[in-house]
């Protein structure tokens, strides 16, 4: 299951991502927001991150206008490694090297087509399992 969260600035892109994930056969849990009415990204970013950290959801995707604020919020939750990505190379490398379990994007910065390529790259890339990367992740978790 994939956790989704956004504020009003990420709402439109979140809806595009949600439809794409469902078409790909992923089960999605949408933690809001559910409209373009002004709201606070920490509420929705934290809820999605907590679902990933608890194991309720395997991975998460969070979106605000820039992706910056909501990625900071997600990374405050113990056990979360959320990467802000605006292109596919970072999405691939954060999975291979950091075993990131959450993706953040900026709904005001990334177009729909690119966003879906980023999402697919993030979800379809496995962690490399290389010792040096595992060691570094352990140090992050400490």
SS3 38: coil
Angle at 56 between CA 22 and CA 16, to 5 degrees: 25
- Among candidate residues 20, 39, 97, 133, the one labeled active-site is 97
Task: Identify whether 57 is a catalytic site residue.
Answer: no
Residue 110, C-beta contacts closer than 8 angstroms, at least 6 positions apart:
13, 67, 86, 118
Of 93, 81, 80, 79, the residue nearest 122 (C-alpha): 93
**How far is residue 129's CA from residue 108's CA, in Å, rounded to a whole number?**
34
- Among candidate residues 57, 64, 82, 85, the one labeled active-site is 64
Task: Identify whether 97 is a catalytic site residue.
Answer: yes
- Which residues does the annotation mark as catalytic? 64, 97
């Amino acid at each position: 299951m994939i956790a989704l969260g956004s504020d009003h600035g990420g709402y439109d892109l979140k809806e595009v991502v949600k439809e794409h994930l469902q078409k790909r056969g992923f089960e999605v849990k949408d933690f809001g927001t559910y409209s373009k009415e002004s709201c606070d990204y920490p509420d929705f970013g934290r809820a999605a991150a907590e679902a990933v950290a608890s194991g309720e959801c395997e991975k998460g995707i969070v979106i605000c206008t820039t992706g910056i604020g909501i990625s900071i919020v997600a990374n405050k939750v113990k056990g979360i490694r959320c990467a802000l990505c605006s292109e596919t190379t970072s999405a691939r490398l954060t999975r291979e090297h950091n075993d990131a379990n959450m993706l953040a994007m900026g709904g005001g910065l990334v177009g729909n087509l690119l966003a879906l390529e980023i999402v697919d790259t993030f979800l379809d890339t496995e962690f490399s399992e290389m010792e040096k990367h595992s060691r570094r992740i352990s140090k992050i978790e400490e």
